[in-house]
Amino acid sequence: MFPDLKPALAALSRGDFVLIHDSKERENEVDLVVAAQHLTPAKVATMRREAGGLICAALSWSLASVYGLPYLSEILRVASSDYPFLSRLIMEEAPYGGRPAFSITVNHRGVFTGITDEERSYTIRRLAEISALALSDAPSAKSRFYSEFCSPGHVHLLIAARNLLGERRGHTELSVFMAEQAGITPVTVLCEMLDSVSHRALGRLDAMRYAEERGIPFVEGETLIQAYRSVRGV
């Protein structure tokens, strides 16, 4: 593995934040990322206050397959047979390129509204725990997933592309690849860094300053793409 990635992989595996910049050619955004298995209410609060974007849970394609989860675009396509105008809403390709990674939204059945820091943390952490089980006992994990979660909810699920960075190079794939390389359950939590002054995405240099001030590893998407090619031999 690339030496530059070691601090970030170590941080991710112990439950600390990392920052990931995709590329200037794509969204040109930086996401604050943490391993789902280590999520706490305090970390949700940090993402909400200091990042400010949409808090999502990204999972590997193989885990989504265990649960039988479709992409939201696929759901809309099926539903449009009964509600024809829905077909006009389907985004086949995002403006920055590639298929949107969004799937369904969920709450854990044990929460109330599902939106509080505590309840979002619990929903996502249980998703990670069940997903860890899925790696060894897929049928049991699938049963637990459908008995413990309900939809719609307040946690947006994202599905990584089947071939990860060989197919799509979004924060979903970048963070899931990092989780795999860190040897942890491939479920991550990510939130875009926003700028309350410009009211746009936080610039890369400002995000790097944020990372330096807080001792958070900053990872470039290109570094992860090179690592992916090295690991996969492509």
Beta-bridge mates of residue 20: 31, 219
Tokens for 4, please give them.
């530059």
Active site residue 67: no
Active site residue 154: yes
Q: Do residues 101 and 168 make contact, with C-beta atoms less than 8 angstroms apart?
A: yes
Domain ranges, ordered by start, for the chain: 3-232
Q: Do residues 42 and 26 make contact, with C-beta atoms less than 8 angstroms apart?
A: no
Among candidate residues 127, 142, 119, the one with its CA nearest the CA of residue 186: 127
Active site residue 163: no
Q: Per-residue pLDDT for 1 more than 70?
A: no
Active site residue 192: yes
Selected catalytic residue, list 31, 117, 119, 173: 31
> What DSSP character marks residue 43?
H
What fold does the segment set 3-232 form as a domain?
DHBP synthase (3.90.870)
The per-residue pLDDT for range 171-222, each reduced to its tens digit, is 999 999 999 999 999 999 999 999 999 999 999 999 999 999 999 999 999 9
Selected catalytic residue, list 96, 148, 150, 180: 96
Selected catalytic residue, list 118, 129, 150, 154: 154
Q: pLDDT confidence of 131, banded at 50, 70, 90?
A: very high
DSSP run (H or E) holding 185: none
Selected catalytic residue, list 22, 119, 192, 210: 192
Active site residue 150: no
Tokens for 88, please give them.
């006009």
pTM of the model: 0.96
Active site residue 4: no
Q: What are phi and psi of 84, to 5 degrees?
A: -55, -35
